[in-house]
Amino acid sequence: MRAYGTDLSSRLLLGTALYPSPAVMAEAIRAAEAGVVTVSLRREGAAGEEGAGAGQRFWDLVGGLGPRVLPNTAGCHSVKEAVLTAQMAREVFGTPWIKLEVIGEDDTLQPDVFGLVEAARILSRDGFQVFPYTTEDLVVAGRLLDAGCEVLMPWGAPIGSGRGLNNPYGLRSLRAHFPDVPLIVDAGIGLPSHAAAAMELGFDGVLLNTAVARAGDPVAMARAMALAVRSGRLAFEADPMEARDMASPSTPVVGAAVFA
């Protein structure tokens, strides 16, 4: 997978929130062999119960694991807030990459696509390489590309819901309309089968967090997700058969024995 001129080692992108401990998070990232991990400026800078150095220790841990770091603007509800958070994250993490979130609705955490496009345009002009968390809407996708984005991250379902792909038709249409744009399904993945289904549609990657972090065994689930992503991609590249309405015998009937 290639994003903004960078070749990534894996098509699985993993979040760093909600794990029972930093040690479990680190083991899950290793098990997933994730090419990218997302980090929150709020998470990195939090003092927490361990004191003022907890954020730095977290950053040192994540930075030592190897994957590329993708800061995000999680929790931002306005263009101004998202742009400011992105600018601060660039200073803290030393990367122009930003996963852009502008939340428009609290119950579903659906993106505010109007604010998202505006923020993407501002950040792109400022030298950021933007990974926008968006919907599967084709018009919004086009506006984001016009704003300077070179990657799109449509949701599968609401963040943390684990519902999988709510609109396979919309995601399939997005893939067909933008065949050369890197597309990553972001949010809503709950099971390895969901991740495999996204990859079978031809998506370039999957970003998930809660499904691994909140599993009974996050390390085992991370490994399962990694296998599912690989399997789904292999299936897509194999050019799978089309679904049929009627049965088709797998054993040839020509030349079969005939009994009088």
- Of 160, 117, 120, nearest to 137 by C-alpha is 117
From the CB of residue 118, how many other CB atoms can be counted at a distance below 10 Å? 18
Q: What are phi and psi of 130, to 5 degrees?
A: -95, 130
The response to whether 209 counts as a known ligand-binding position is yes
Question: Is 66 marked within a binding site?
Answer: no
Q: 55: annotated binding-site residue?
A: no
The tokens of 163 are what? 């519902």
Among the options 11, 90, 99, 194, which is catalytic? Answer: 99
The question of whether 99 is a catalytic residue gets the answer yes
Span between the terminal Cα atoms of the chain, in Å = 60
Report the C-alpha gap between 188 and 173 in whole angstroms: 19
- The sign of the dihedral angle between the CA atoms of 179, 102, 137, 159 is positive
Burial of 81 (0-12, 13-18, 19+ CB in 10 A): middle
Question: How far apart, in whole angstroms, are the C-alpha atoms of residue 110 and residue 135?
Answer: 8
- Catalytic positions are 99
Binding-site residue positions = 160, 187-188, 209-210
Binding site, annotated residues for 1-deoxy-D-xylulose 5-phosphate: 160, 187-188, 209-210
